C-alpha cells in the first residue's frame, strides 16, 4: 500500500471515529454543561476544560454505543445509512469497544480531577441514553423521546456538580428545562423524517399518532417549557435580565410551533422550529450566565 493510500485510510478512520461521537449534537450538550458551571459559581478554567473534555468523551461514548445498538435500523434510514457500521467501514465490535473506552476514560477523568458526583451524574446520563432510551424505549413507544430525553438533560446537573459538589433546586430546574425542551425540538425533526422512521419500524410520534396530534403535543410541551423557564425567577434563582430573555426567546419558539400547526405545507416552518430550538436553548443558558455574572 502506498504512503498516500495509507494516509487516506488513517484520515478516513479518524473521520469515522469523530462521526461516531456526533460532534454537532455534543456541542449543544457542552453549552448546557458549561453554562450551569458559571451560574453556580466561579469555576477555574482548568475545571471547565476538564469537564468539557470529560463531557465530550462521555457523550461521544454514548453516541458510539447507540450506533452499535442501532446498526440494523441505521441501515434502513436514508439519513443514517452512511454511518461507519452500515457503511461497512467499521466492524460493530470495534465501534462498541470505542464507545465503552470513551465512557471509561470520561468516568476516570471526571472522578479523578473534578469530583465523584460529577462523574456519577455523567455516567448516569450515559446509562440512561444507552439502556433506557436506545435499548428499551426507542423501539417500543412513541413516548420514547419524552422519557428517554432525560438523558440529554443530565449535562446541567454535571456542570452544577462540578462547581458546587452538590445538586440543588436550581440545578433540578435546569434539568427540567432541557427535559421539556426535548420533545418539541426532536418531534420537529421526526415530522420531517417520519418516512425514514416508518421504514425502520421505529414508533416515533408522527408515525404512531399522526402529524396533527404530534403538533398538538409539541404545542403543549412548548407552553409548559416557557412557563417552566420563568419559575426560577420567582424564587430568586435569576433576575430581570434572564426573565426578559426567557420570555422573548420562548415566545419566538411558541410562535414558531403555532405557525407550523397553521401552515400548509408545514415542512418549512417545521425546519424553522427544529433549527431555532437549538439556538433557543443556547441563548437561554447564555442568558442565565449573563444574569448571574452581570446581575439582573
Q: Which CATH number fits the domain 9-167, given the four candidates 3.40.630.10, 1.10.357.140, 3.90.1150.10, 1.10.3720.10? A: 1.10.357.140
Cβ distance 128 to 154 under 8 Å?
A: yes
- Answer for the pair 284, 261: CB distance below 8 angstroms, yes or no: no
| Phi/psi at 166 (5° precision) | -140, 175
pLDDT at 196 over 60: yes
Give the lowest-confidence range in 72-76, 119-123, 179-183.
72-76
Which option is the CATH number for 168-296: 1.10.287, 2.20.25, 1.20.120, 1.10.357?
Answer: 1.20.120
Q: Is the model's pLDDT at 130 over the cut of 60? A: yes
Asked if the model's pLDDT at residue 4 lies above 50, the reply is no
For residue 296, CA distances in Å to 130, 229, 253 come to 39, 15, 23
Domain ranges of the chain: 9-167, 168-296
CB-CB neighbours of 278 under 10 Å: 16
Q: How far is CA 271 from CA 14, 90, 106, 156, 180, in A?
A: 31, 32, 34, 26, 19
For residue 275, is pLDDT > 90? yes
Predicted pLDDT of residue 53: 98
The whole-chain average pLDDT of the chain stands at 94
- What pLDDT is attached to residue 149? 86
Sorting pLDDT into bands at 50, 70 and 90, what band is 295?
low
Q: Is 166 a residue whose pLDDT tops 70?
A: yes
pLDDT band at 9 (very low <50, low <70, confident <90, very high): low
Work out the pLDDT band at 78, boundaries 50, 70, 90. confident
In angstroms, what CA-CA distances link 174 with 8, 32, 152, 177? Answer: 43, 9, 11, 5
Amino acid at each position: 500500500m502506498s504512503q498516500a493510500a495509507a494516509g487516506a485510510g488513517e484520515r478516513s478512520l479518524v473521520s469515522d471515529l469523530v462521526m461516531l461521537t456526533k460532534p454537532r449534537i455534543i456541542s449543544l450538550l457542552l453549552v448546557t454543561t458549561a453554562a450551569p458551571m458559571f451560574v453556580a459559581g466561579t469555576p477555574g478554567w482548568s475545571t471547565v476544560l476538564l469537564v468539557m473534555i470529560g463531557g465530550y468523551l462521555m457523550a461521544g461514548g454514548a453516541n458510539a454505543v447507540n450506533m452499535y445498538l442501532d446498526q440494523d435500523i441505521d441501515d434502513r434510514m436514508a439519513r443514517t445509512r452512511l454511518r461507519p457500521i452500515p457503511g461497512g467501514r467499521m466492524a460493530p465490535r470495534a465501534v462498541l469497544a470505542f464507545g465503552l473506552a470513551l465512557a471509561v476514560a470520561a468516568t476516570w477523568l471526571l472522578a479523578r480531577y473534578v469530583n465523584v458526583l460529577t462523574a456519577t451524574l455523567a455516567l448516569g446520563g450515559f446509562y440512561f441514553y444507552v439502556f433506557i432510551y436506545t435499548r428499551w424505549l426507542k423501539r417500543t413507544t412513541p413516548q420514547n423521546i419524552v422519557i428517554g430525553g432525560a438523558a440529554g438533560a443530565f449535562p446541567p446537573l454535571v456542570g452544577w456538580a462540578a462547581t458546587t459538589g452538590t445538586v440543588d433546586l436550581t440545578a433540578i430546574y435546569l434539568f427540567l428545562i432541557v427535559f421539556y425542551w426535548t420533545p418539541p425540538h426532536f418531534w420537529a425533526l421526526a415530522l420531517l423524517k417520519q418516512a425514514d422512521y416508518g421504514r425502520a419500524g421505529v414508533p416515533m410520534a408522527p408515525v404512531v399518532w399522526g402529524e396533527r396530534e404530534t403538533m398538538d403535543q409539541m404545542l403543549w410541551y412548548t407552553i409548559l417549557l416557557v412557563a417552566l423557564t420563568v419559575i426560577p425567577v420567582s424564587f430568586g434563582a435569576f433576575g430581570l435580565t434572564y426573565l426578559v430573555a426567557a420570555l422573548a426567546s420562548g415566545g419566538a419558539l411558541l410562535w414558531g410551533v403555532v405557525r407550523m400547526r397553521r401552515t400548509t405545507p408545514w415542512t418549512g416552518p417545521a425546519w424553522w422550529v427544529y433549527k431555532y430550538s437549538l439556538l433557543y436553548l443556547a441563548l437561554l443558558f447564555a442568558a442565565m450566565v449573563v444574569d448571574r455574572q452581570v446581575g439582573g
